[in-house]
């Protein structure tokens, strides 16, 4: 049972999330030979003020 954890900035629409998890599920099934029912996708939404790259918060960019 593949479980895929994804971290994204907040702000995606429900439609974008639906399309994203459908695409991830399809790619997982095609690549690993899994059934769609065995694929779990967890989306963790992160505020830009809680994420930094190269020592800078994304909220400051």
- Tokens for 48? 């830009």
Is 2 a residue of the active site?
yes
CA distances to 28, 49, 55, 56, 58 from 12, in Å: 22, 16, 25, 22, 16
Pick the catalytic residue: 2, 12, 21, 34? 2
Q: Which residues are catalytic?
A: 2
């Amino acid at each position: 049972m593949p479980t895929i954890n994804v971290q994204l900035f907040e702000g995606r629409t429900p439609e974008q999330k639906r399309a994203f998890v459908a695409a991830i599920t399809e790619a997982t099934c095609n690549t690993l030979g899994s059934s769609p029912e065995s694929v779990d996708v967890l989306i963790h939404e992160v505020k830009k003020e809680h994420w930094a790259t190269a020592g800078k918060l994304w909220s400051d960019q």
